[in-house]
Chain A
Amino acid sequence: MLRIVNGEVYDPLNGIDGVVQDICVADGKIVAQVDPGTEILDASGMIVMPGGVEIHAHVAGPKVNSGRRMRPEDHRKGFVRSTPITRSGTGNSVPSTFTTGYQYTGLGYTTVMEAAAPPLEARHVHEELDDIPIVDKAVYVMMGNNYFVMKFIHEGEFSKLKDYVAWLLESTGGYVMKLINPAGVDRWKWGKNVHTIDDPADTFPVSPSQIVKNLSRVQQELGIPHPIHVHCNNLGNPGNAEVTRQTMEAVGDLPIHITHIQFNGFAKSPKNDFRSGATELAAYVNKHENVTVDMGQIAFGSTTTMTADGPWQYQLQKMTNDKWVNVDLEMEGGSGIVPYTYRKRNEVNALQWTVGLEFALLMEDPWRVFLSTDHPNGGTFRSYPDIIKLLMSRDYRAEILDQLHSRARTYSTLKEIDREYSLYEVAILTRAGPAKALGLKDKGHLGPGADADIAIYPKNSDAKEMFSNPSYVIKGGDIVFAGGVIVKDKPGRTLYVTPGYDKQLKAAIHEEFEQYYTVCFDNYPVQVDHYMPHRQLIPCTPRSVK
């Protein structure tokens, strides 16, 4: 039990904006009151917020691990010594598992979503998540290029599609339906891609538009807590903002989350040059309350890009001529990995930097835009404090903008935007908003019943300083971080859903499964008892769709 006193509390889900009040903790939860004589944590001169919630990062699984295998030179730039209670690791652009958990904790983050899990290799994802300590986690399951998803859409078998999605989530210990360049990765198996939302996949002639529409309805009818989480087609190419807008239009008024919108937010000039598409896209999102987005902000410097969007990674490798990992994954998709350096004097990189910030600053409703770098694609999560400072300080933005390629000033509206985020809005952007969008009712707030996941920062006018150095981080009621170090190591939980499905599904997929997969149907599902020893079921609330 613990009573946190004298802290300035920012708890947007409960409407608390910088009020000094006590926060009480018992049995891992926030409670209304604790016994007198309970241990006191004095947070005088400090800011108290719910623990941060990461809505989109690549932290665990085969693709992330190939990134680690590929970059020994990168690891040497960031290594972490063991302590009597913590494991050692390497931790630059693709931190090892233990280091990932400690580093998120060290920023005041207590929940982290793994953004792209290949179903066939879900055991690998869970084994790594089990080695990411302290933070709670969940898994986004790749579905946009899945054989059976495309087949059932092609055949107009909506109820089978729904059952299949539910079965797939349960078989993988998953939480969210993830679509990555839908139909495009399927075409990449033959070295091709899609470029509009109406281009067909190869295995079945279904388009990204059909896939997005059908799966958004499935999400609603199964009642999966978070909307379909979409990495749009044509990522990285000038003019892709158009495809992004069309993708949002395709779902009508059903919920959709567009991830790392920066990478999908480019307009183009008549000569096919890059322009920022943030203004138009933000205007669309502002008007459509069914849409949420995360920034996908870039941070200058070297990183490792990794995505299931194999064709885009091939294109990127053609530009960099650097190392290239590609994996074609039977029946389900693929992935690609390429090292990349974002440079201030590079025209496209400079514009990318403005697009993410512009978007966040133009969003009128802070509840529908979330902080992300698409770690490690745009940069690592360790750049969050810097990005928060950029959002909170017009002067700081101007200072950096002056260092960039001139096109960042002429082809984007960033320099004209005066808005500065408040601490209250930052708390929405980094914890309350993502928790709400993920349907995690016990996360992202400090009201009674919430998980006692709390970040306490020393109040500082320099937001970067403040958010880089929490005074205390509390996870599940335990003080896990204090004095700049991890003081308690413990496992986090894996959150998952089991939407339920008609058991007849097996008959509909068994024969083709056995024919075209190389593992047996019976050996495919993850044994949750073994692979998710610390887990928490999050309920689904089905909704009917007209």
Chain B
Amino acid sequence: MSTDSQTNDSHTGASQAVAPPTNAQTFENVICAFCGCVCDDLSVTVEGDRITKTARACVLGKAWLEGHTEESDRAAAYVDGQPASVEKAVEVASDILAKARYPLIYGLSSTYCEAQRKAVALADLLHGNVDCCTSVCHGPSGMALQSVGEPTCTLGEVKNRADLTIYWGSNPMESHPRHLSRYTSSPKGLFRPGGKKDRTMVMVDVRPTPSSKQANIFLQVKPGKDFEVIWALRALVQGRTVRESAIAETGLTLEQLEDLTERMKSCEYGVFLIGQGLTQSNGKHMNPAALFLLVRDLNAHTKFAVMPMRGHGNVNGIDSVMAWQTGFPFGVNFSLGYPRFNPGEFTSVDLLCRHEADACLVVAADPIASFPRLAIERLKQIPLIAMDAHESETTKVAKVAFTTATTGISAAGTVYRMDGVPLRAPKLLPSPYPNDEEILTQMLDRVKQLKNIPQAN
């Protein structure tokens, strides 16, 4: 390894710059695992068991890091709401999972890949079901990729090359606050030395947002009409005639669409950045599929790419892990002893609403706070196991709850940016709690014992 990585603090994975005379330590180039941007240029000061100062973090990252406490008043594990040892909780949880006929493992978007790999292994062993937050966010983008492919790029190409960026159904000012300044609105890139003046930014959304105020052009689409707009753009890019009446219900004029078409065809490098406004609105996976086809069409004229704005810090990681271990990115079922994929059948909300899942392990997610009512009701009926760094709506009602170290703060591990670039998130603080990988490994071993399966050497 190079000198630089050798001098890295192996404990944190981040390089240590200045150590002030107090017991405060400042780390440079720290990776923030909070959202899908996974910025890796933060400066973070640690004093004792708290992060006391951050620099270059966005409002979300700053609050996440500086607000973090290792809640040592919480027990490492609870069974039936009572403090328990981790060993005991692993035993009870493993027993529940091993006995279940249709166990579901859900969440995983805010933990690191090493733990995700164990969670998928556990589902495989249990002949159960494993699903991640993707099934309720960018699952439709994944299905669009399955349908038509996806012309994409890494964030560096957006910074270095893109002269036209188009956010669609995304509000990065509030969801990914540094995305604009680092990649789209103003950065100086290899072929965009002028920064902001070399770039045009377009926002397409159903209402004005803090982000749309930053855009050069804002196009307000009527809710649920994204597909129609994209399809009209495909026609225009292909040189066909589009009647004003055909787009009357979209809220946009032909003039606006023709202007956008001209900009897309004549730019040097264009990028769509798509949010859940596109993937979770009327049309679902048909919307990103249509957009991916539009991008394909545009490559006959210039260079164009598209990237989903992945939300949670490592939601892209769990898609990757599931794909390499099973072939499918979310909603995977092992009931027949091999992986099967069918969104709507093997996705968590559907499994719960149909009362099929009879036990559930939630890792680093809070479905009791976010799922539809029927799914929550089912989660409360069945034995529920939750692993989370903090008390959550899910841990509150879980039969077994583990308090875990936090990915990127008190547990180190791999996280994938929204563009698939993998980074190693640091352990900045000590934690009295075990990490997700440790707990899942213990569960794997225990379930093997219960099923009389020999342990791997």
Residues of A at the B interface (CB closer than 8 Å) are 60, 62, 64-66, 68-72, 75, 79-82, 84-85, 87-90, 94, 96-98, 120-121, 123-124, 127-128, 131, 167, 170-171, 189-191, 203, 314, 317, 323-331, 334, 337-338, 489-490, 498, 503, 506, 515-523, 525, 527-530
Contact = CB atoms under 8 A, between A and B. Distances in A.
Nearest to A74: B327
Given A123-B424, A523-B40, A527-B424, A89 B416 contact: no
B111 to A, nearest CB: 14
Majority-rule SS of A interface residues:
mixed
Interface string B135-164: 000000010011111111111110111000
B325 A98 contact: yes
B248 interface: no
B328 interface: yes
Given A97-B324, A523-B423, A330 B155 contact: yes
Contact of A124 (B161, B337, B422): B422
B402 interface: no
A520 B29 contact: yes
A69 B146 contact: yes
A522 B154 contact: no
B149 A325 contact: yes
Contacts of A85: 453-454, 456
A191 B161 CA distance: 12
A323 B424 CA distance: 32
In the A-B complex, the 7 residue pairs with the smallest Cβ-Cβ separation, listed nearest first, are: A330-B156, A90-B327, A323-B149, A328-B153, A123-B422, A81-B337, A75-B327
Interface stretch (B100-108, B182-190, B255-263, B356-364): B182-190
A489 B456 contact: yes
A327 B325 contact: no
Contact of B420 (A98, A121, A521): A121
Contact of B157 (A82, A329, A520): A329
B113 interface: yes
B281 interface: no
Contacts of B302: 191
A65 B456 contact: no
Contacts of B121: 87
A190 B303 contact: yes
Contacts of B420: 62, 121, 124, 327
Given A97-B324, A190-B303, A329-B154, A89 B338 contact: yes
A527 B13 contact: yes
A88 B147 contact: no
Given A84-B453, A527-B13, A518 B156 contact: yes
B421 A525 contact: no
A167 to B, nearest CB: 6
Contact of A131 (B117, B151, B153): B117
Nearest to B182: A518
B165 to A, nearest CB: 14
Contacts of A62: 320, 420
A330 B422 contact: no
A232 B149 CA distance: 26
Given A127-B324, A518-B156, 18 more contacts: A75-B339, A81-B337, A85-B456, A89-B338, A90-B327, A96-B324, A96-B327, A98-B325, A171-B1, A171-B2, A317-B296, A328-B154, A503-B3, A506-B3, A517-B156, A518-B154, A522-B29, A529-B10
Nearest to A327: B152
B416 A124 contact: yes
A525 B147 CA distance: 35
B76 to A, nearest CB: 24
A516 B160 contact: yes
B417 to A, nearest CB: 8
Contacts of B421: 120-121, 518-519
Given A88-B334, A190-B303, A97 B152 contact: no
Nearest to A87: B124
